[in-house]
Chain A
Amino acid sequence: MSTVHPPPRARRGRVLIVEDALAPEQLGGSWAPSAVRVSNLFEAIGEVAAAPAGKPIIAAVVAAERVGDAGGRLAAALRQIDPSLKLILVGDGDQSAGATADADDDLVGPVAADDVRRILDDESRQTPTQTVEPTIRVVHRPESAGAQEGESRPAPLDPGPQEPLGDTDLVEAMLNDSSGVLDTALRLMAQQTRWTDVALTEDPTPSPGAAGAEATYGRHRFGRLTCPEATTDQLRPWADWLARWLALDRAFRDFRLMAFQDTLTGAWNRRFFDAFLRDSVAKAAQRRRPVTVMVFDIDDFKRYNDEFSHEAGDEILRETVRLLNSVIRKGDRVCRIGGDEFAVIFADPEAPRAPGSTHPETVEQIARRFQDQVCRTKFPKLGLEAPGTLSISGGLATYPWDGTDPDQLRRHADQLALESKRKGKNVITFGPGARREQVTESRSDEVTE
């Protein structure tokens, strides 16, 4: 077994002292974990099991003479609760020759009490004594980790914070870092192992004899973990560990997308619409800026669906989303909120001027352009006689004038969309607020083709 193990957790744990195996002050060192004292081995097992996730027991210190020849069984019992726990036996070799007879190399001892602090320091590997900070190279990032196109050269990274990293940092990265867990995982690995040049590469033809281990999990391959200072045997457990984190990271991102995306069109779904509108209105209130909602549906969609098949209907829906995505701004969102009912949340904070453009890009202009493109688009599946017949009817409502909360805004936009239908379809009706918000030469209530 390698002497270096992937870390299961951050150094936020506690040390369990059984009976009087050690005085708590003997734990003070370059890092000083808090100590928990119990009266016997059974309580030790119970304490490990009862430890909350945020304050795990990372090591148990037991007098070797108390354990007798049960070191292996105690280790097995403790690891049944927590496989990463370190068991340290305190005593001299003569007292406890049999204590470690059937133990693996995670059972340390017997050692002198004064050595425990050093062992914990060393085992924690959380306080590098090196003056040279580890250098980490990322040769390849998994596709979900935000790789830049054309990025092929190893790029040295910021070695990261001085604070030792742990699994909570990985979870934080997963939740909050758009580039994923890879950078944090490699930094953590460097801290734990003191390897200074560890990399995940996609090189399919490694140099002969070069140490490396494939980071794979299930059918996913994330790359090859390499480090000139390590052997393949040392790298292998880290590659397994890294692959699991990367797989979890990828799954999290996939699930998040699945929860919010409409699979047919690729637009955001109703759940996202509700949440994003609520969030946008709240931000708009804070920043004193407008948010506009456009609700529309495709005129006579049911007829197209019935006459030209569901396949044709699906194509119309997909194409509608594609057209919308081509005209909206960076911060706007297209959502499919019903069968053929769509909503666009115009929440781009850059509005009305789109980045890089020289002309104001107002919501009205976008709506007009979209309406025009829908009318001109040809849908092959509608047949030769049908192209150019599609149209939309919708309504736009703008916060705060047309509604002061998300529900009001949505209802107002719905009412305006119904009004457009009553006016004869292919009409987009602006609410008073939406009309007020537009800074264009055209001030008409209706945008008709």
Chain B
Amino acid sequence: MTQDETRGRIIVQLLPRIVSLRKRGLAGWITIIGLAMVIAVVLMTLAAPWISPHDPNEISIGPVLAPPSWSFPLGTNHMGQDMLSRLIWGGSTMLQVAVFSVIVCLVVGVPVGLLSSFAGGLVDKSSSLVMDSIYAFPGLVLAIAISAMLGPGAVNMALSIAVVYVPSYYRIVRSQVLTIKELPYVEAARMIGAPGRSTLLRYILPNILPSIVAVATVNFADAILTAAGLTFVGLGLPISTPDWGWDLTYGRRLLPSGAWWVIAFPGLMIVILALGFALAGEGLSELLNPKLEQ
């Protein structure tokens, strides 16, 4: 079997699990609610060009700092931009940054974790030391350092977030491989002469995949919150991109005027998106580790 076929099979095996979530009680419902929140936000962002009433960047579309009204349901900001349009468009960058950083984490963290736990010895010791050092460091501080050096831009932001969270993937993969490696069925595979590579990819990887999915789901929430944090400390994207993080950051200066709508709506969107991922991740990990349910 080729590697692609293995991957195909893994995905096919995962699908029925998601479909049957409803049968799995509270954890299943938490997962479904979380996923529904995420999907709703993603759909809104994808449909932005068709559903947005105005151009999110056009200034003086309405009065300056107008509270919510029939013509501007979420009000306008200090430049007379329509907050509803900015809200509909504003998730795009954040989602892209999150997706890109999670992909980088998966591509780096999972293979390094697999190799290091399978190889053992000095390779394992040194990579663990590096990963543990990064893990121990305050995530936002590290992301600020890298982001400040790389300069603004969505890709740079995603990279600096990825560096912070790679150790989470590495650690979960490593600890799971170390456990699974000792199980009789893996030993049996080795006995019948399966080479190391195939043991790792065909016998071990499929078993840790669900845990990786759970970590990645929670990590989406982390990535979104870190992206918002980076924007808040002034390491965000150029002003011309409508972005919830940026609106929230600028909204801070408008606070004394009492213009709550400028911060409330973008802030709530970030909460909905991050909460969706956090709930889905929470539900998934409980489904995978039902120790407490008994």
Whether A associates with B in a native complex is no
Interface residues in chain B, defined as those with a beta carbon under 8 Å from any beta carbon in chain A: none
